Amino acid sequence: MIKMYDTKPPISPKLDLRVGVFICRCGGNISDIVDIEKVKEFINAEVVEEFENLCSLNGRKIIRDSIVNKDLDRVVIAACSPITHEKTFQDYIQPLNPYLMDMANLREQCSWIHENPKKATEKSITLINASIEKVRQSQVVDPILCQTPESAAVIGAGISGINAALSLAKQGVKTYLIEKKASIGGNMVKIGKVFSPVKLAEECGMCLLNPIMNETIWHENIEIMTNTKVLSTERRAGNFNILLESNPRYVDEKKCISCGKCIDACPVEVPNRWDDGLSMRKAIYKPFSQSYPDAYTIDMENCEKCGKCMRKCPMDAIYLKGEKEITPLNVGAVVLATGHKTFDPELRPEYGYNRYEDVITQSELGRIMGVNGPTKGKLKMLSKDQVPRRIVMIQCVGSRDEKPDGHGYCSKVCCMVALKNANIIKHKYPDTDVIICYTDMRTPGMYEKYYKHGQDNGIRLIRGRPGEVNKKGDCLVVRVEDTLQRKFTEIETDMVVLSTAIEPSKGSEEIADIMDIGLTEDLFIKETHPKIKPVATDVKGAYVCGTAQGPKDITDSIMQANAAASKVAEIMNDGLEIEPFVAEIDDEKCNLCEDCISICKYKAMSIKDDQVYIDPMSCSGCGKCLTVCKPRAINIHGNIDEKIFATISGMLKDKKEGERRMLVFLDQVGYTAADNIGVNRIYYPESIYIIKVHSVNRVMPKHIIYALENGADGVFIGEYPGDLMYQEVEKKMNQIREEIKEHDMDPERLQFSNVYIPYFRGLANKFKEFDDKIGAMP
C-alpha cells in the first residue's frame, strides 16, 4: 500500500510570531474552578492577560490596546465556547484579520465539566497551548464575496413559474421566463374550474389566471421566451451561463393580428392536445384563445407546406422556412418550475381506458365540463350524445400503487379534483348519480368542508378500490368491494372517470440532467432538505417550485413559487459571503484526471476551458477531493491541514507519565452537543480533549496516526448521521484502523460514533466508556 503521508508532520513551529493570550474569568464561571494565576504562570506567550468579562466593551479595549501596543500577530481567547462568542472576538481583534484568532473553550468544555480544580487547571493550560500552536499556523484569509448578476431564469411558465417570475420582477430582478410550449399558462389553463374550499364554490380557473398572465406579459422586468428550451448550463460562482434553443413559430408574432383566416385555409386536421385530443385543430393554430404570445403558430410535424395559409394571411405574417435560434443567457439564479404530467391510464388495462370510449380521465372530464372545451361545457358521453345516468370515479389510479409503473406516493390533489368535478356535475345535472370509489378520502384542513359540501349535494362514496371495468350489454360495469359493508358489488354505469396520478414531467428530468440536479427516487426534483430547505436544490443558486418538486395543488404551488423567488432575492440583494476555507486548484499540477469531479458530493467541481474549476459557492471545504488527487494539485485555503497537526501537537504537549489523553474530533453539530454537556453540568473524564474541525472528513489518516504516535491514547471521531459526508467518513474508519494496525498499534484506539445535538447525555456516556476502554488497555 502506498503511504500518502510522512510520519513527521509537515509543519514548522513559526516561533517568530508574537502571540497574545487573553483569559476570561467569566464572572467566576471559569475562575472558581480554574486557577488563573497558575495558568498564566505556565503559558508561554508574548502577552498573557486576564479579565473579568472579556466579551464586554472593556474587554475589547484591553485586547485591541494589546494588539496595537505590543505588536501582536496572533491572538488566543481563553474563555467560553467559540459557538457562543467567536463572532464577537473576531470583531474585537480588529485590525487583525478575523481568522488569526482562536478560542480555547475553558468554560463549556472544562470548568463546567470538571470539579477537581487541579485537573481543570492543567487541562486549561493544555487547551490554551493547543490554541497557541494552532494560531501560529493560521493565515490571513478573507471571506469570498460572490457577485451575482441581478437576473434570474425561470424554467417553465405554468402557474408556479409565472408566479415566481412575477415575484422576482416585482423585487427588481430581471427575469427570463422560459417555456417549451407555444404559450405560457401550463396545466391550469386546461382545468376549467378551480374550487375554493372556503367559499364552497367553484370558480373559473382562466379568470383567476388571466390577470396574473397579463401582469407577467406587461411587466418590464420579465422577458417571456416561448417555444424555447434549455440546451446547456454552466455554473461559475453565482453565475449561470445558459444556452437556449428556440424553435421558430413560423408566424411572426409582431405582425399576426390573430384574425384566424389562416385556420380556415389550412387543410390539415390533427387531435387538439389542449383538449386532451377530444377535439381537432388545424396544423396552424393558437393553443387557446388567451394564449400568449397572442399569435398563431404552425405545428411543423403535421404541416404539409401547401402555402394556403400564407396566401390567406392579410398581414403577411407567415413564413414556412425558419431556423432554430440559439441564445446565450447569463443569470444569477435559476428557478425550476417544470411541472408535472399525469399517469398514463393505458398502464392499467384492467380499467379499459383504451377499450371503452366512456372511460376517461379527470383531465378529460375537466375539458368536457369546460365551456371552452369540446362540448362547450355540456356533459355528454363520448360514445353517444347523451347525458350519463351515472358516473363512477376511480381514485388512486397510479398513486399509492407499488406495482410496476405505479407510484407509492399519494398524489395529494385527486380527492379534491374528484370532489370538484362531482360537485359541478351534481350542480348542473342533479339527476346524474355520481359515485366516488376511494381508498381513503384525503381532504385536510378546509378541504374537509368541501368534502362535506359534496356529500350534501348527493355525491355518493364507496370505500373500495375497484379491480376492473367491464362492459355488460349497454352499460359499463365497475367491480368493487364495498369494504365498509363487506359487499362485493358490480356497479352499472354510463361513464367511468379515472383519477390519474401526478407524476414528474419529462422536462424536469431533462433539466435535472442538464444542470446535474439531484432527483428523488420518484424522479421529482429533490430539495436540499425536505423539511427545512424546501425550495433549495443540491446545486447552489438553483431553486425549485410547484409540481416539479412533488404533487401539490395550485395554492401550494404559488406559495412555493414565492418562496423560491425570495430565496433568489436573498442572493441578489445581500450578495453571497462565503467562508473562505474552500478548495483551490493548482493548474500546473493538475493532470485533468477528473477524479475530484466525480467524488465531490457538493458538485463544486467542473471543467471550464480545459481546467478544473472549483466553485467557492458550492465547496464545503470537506477535503474529500484531496484524498483522490494523485498529483496533489488541490489545497484548501487557510492551512487547515497544518492547523489540525498543530492543534494535535499542542493538545499533547507536556503530557505526564501515566496521564491519559484522548483526542475527540467534532464538527459544528458534534461540538454543539459537547457544549451542551457543559451547559447541563454533566461530568466526563478530564482525559477527553475536544478539537473543533470544519468537517470531520478533514481529519485524515495521517493526522490520526500522528496523534497516536505522539502521545494520544485514543482518537474519537463523532459525526452527525444527517451530514452529507457521513457515509464517506464511516467508510474511511475501517481503512484507518487497518493503517493503525500497520503501525503496530491497537486499532481499537480509534472510535467512531454518531452524534446528535439533543443527545448530549449519550455523548458524555460515550466519552466515559471510551476512557474506561482505553484505560483497560495494556
Partner 1 sequence: MDTLKIDENPLDLAEKILKDIKSSEGMGLLKCIQCGMCTSMCPGARNSDYNPRDMIERVLEGDETIIEDENIWNCFYCYTCHSICPVGNSACEVNQILRQMAINKGIANDKVRPFTGFIDVMMDLGLGKIPSIFHDDLTRDIGEEWKEKNLHLDEIREELGLKPLSMPKESIKEIRSLLKLTKLDKRVEKINE
Binding site for partner 1 (CB under 8 A): 350, 396, 400-403, 406, 439-440, 463-468, 479-483, 486, 488
CA distances from 573 to 123, 331, 566, 567, 569 (A): 46, 14, 10, 10, 6
Residue 694 C-beta: closest distance to partner 1, Å: 42
329 phi and psi angles, rounded to 5 deg? -140, 135
Minimum distance, C-beta of residue 480 to partner 1, in the bound complex (Å): 5
Rg (CA), the chain: 34
Can you count the helices (H) and strands (E) in the chain?
20, 38
Q: What is the DSSP letter of 635?
A: E
> Which of residues 359 and 669 has its CB atom nearest to partner 1 in the complex?
359
Least distance between partner 1 and beta carbon 350 (Å): 7
CB of 519 to partner 1, least distance (A): 23
We find the least distance from the C-beta atom of residue 409 to partner 1, in angstroms, to be 12
* Nearer CB in complex with partner 1: 374/464: 464
Would you say 448 and 440 are in contact if contact means Cβ atoms under 8 Å apart? no
Whether residue 475 contacts residue 493, with contact meaning beta carbons closer than 8 Å, is answered with yes
Contact status, residue 26 vs residue 53, Cβ threshold 8 Å = yes
Which residue lies nearer to partner 1 by CB, 440 or 748?
440
Least distance to partner 1, CB of residue 391, Å: 18
Return the number of the residue (142 or 440) whose C-beta is nearest partner 1.
440
DSSP letter at 182?
Answer: S
Output the smallest distance, CB 149 to partner 1, in A.
49
Tell which residue, 160, 245, 158, 157, has the closest CA to residue 514: 245
Is 267 or 408 the residue whose CB approaches partner 1 more closely? 408
Q: Cα–Cα distance between 466 and 226 in angstroms, integer? A: 42
Calculate the CA 215 to chain-centre distance. 29
Minimum CB distance to partner 1 smaller for 114 or for 407: 407
- Closest CB to partner 1 among 34 and 469? 469
Q: Of 410 and 563, which CB lies nearer to partner 1 in the complex structure?
A: 410
Residue owning grid cell 381508498: 439
Are 716 and 663 spatial neighbours (Cβ–Cβ below 8 Å)? yes
Place of cell 387557446: 288
Minimum distance between the CB of residue 586 and partner 1, rounded to whole angstroms? Answer: 51
Strands 714-719 and 297-298: unpaired
Q: Running DSSP on this structure, what letter comes out for residue 419? A: H
Q: Minimum CB separation from partner 1 for residue 481, in Å?
A: 4
Residue found by looking up cell 379534483 in the block: 417
Transcribe 231-275 into DSSP letters. Answer: EEEEEETTEEEEEEEE---SB-TTT-----HHHHH---EEE-GGG
Whether the Cβ atoms of residue 14 and residue 137 lie closer than 8 Å to each other: yes
In DSSP terms, 719 is beta-bridged to 754
CA distances from 410 to 19, 146, 395 (A): 62, 41, 11
Question: With respect to partner 1, which residue has the nearer C-beta, 254 or 472?
Answer: 472
Say how far residue 435 (Cα) sits from the centre of its chain.
Answer: 40
d(CA 237, CA 146): 6
The x, y and z cell numbers of residue 17, run together, are 510570531
Helix, strand and coil content of the chain, in percent to the nearest 5, comes to 35, 25, 45
The CB-of-775 to partner 1 minimum distance in angstroms stands at: 43
Amino acid identity, position 93: I
Smallest gap from Cβ 488 to partner 1, in A, equals 5
CB neighbourhood size of 654 (10 A) = 12
Report yes or no: 67 and 659 within 8 Å, Cβ to Cβ: no
**Nearer Cβ to partner 1 (215/468):** 468
CB-based contact 370:276 (threshold 8 Å): no
Nearer to partner 1, 454 or 466 (CB): 466
| Closest to partner 1 by CB, 156 or 352 | 352
| Among candidate residues 461, 460, 416, 420, the one with its CA nearest the CA of residue 438 | 461
Query: Minimum distance from CB of 346 to partner 1 (Å)?
Result: 17
**Cell for 695?**
468537517
What is the smallest separation between the CB atom of 534 and partner 1, expressed in angstroms? 27
Q: Quick one: DSSP state of residue 423?
A: H
User: Min. distance of Cβ 426 from partner 1 in angstroms?
Assistant: 25
For 38, half-sphere exposure in the C-beta direction (CA atoms, 13 angstrom radius) is: 15
Q: Closest CB to partner 1 among 234 and 468?
A: 468
- Of 273 and 479, the one with the shorter C-beta distance to partner 1 is 479
DSSP H or E stretch at residue 146? strand 144-146
Task: Of 159, 152, 261, give the one whose Cα is nearest residue 212.
Answer: 159
Torsion sign (Cα): 89, 91, 94, 98? positive
Task: Write down the least CB distance from residue 441 to partner 1, Å.
Answer: 13
Minimum gap (Å) between residue 230 Cβ and partner 1? 36
Least CB distance to partner 1 at residue 400 (A): 6
What are the cell numbers at 359?
372511460
Q: Could you give the 3-state DSSP secondary structure of residue 68?
A: helix
- Minimum CB–partner distance for residue 478 and partner 1 (Å): 9
Considering beta carbons, is residue 396 or 558 the nearer one to partner 1? 396
> How many angstroms separate the first and last alpha carbons of the chain?
29
For partner 1, the closer of residues 277 and 408 by Cβ is 408
Residue 474 to residue 456: CA distance in whole angstroms: 30
CB nearer to partner 1: give 187 or 399.
399
> Which CB sits closer to partner 1, 488 or 683?
488
Going by C-alpha positions, the residue among 56, 52, 67, 57 that lies closest to residue 21 is: 67
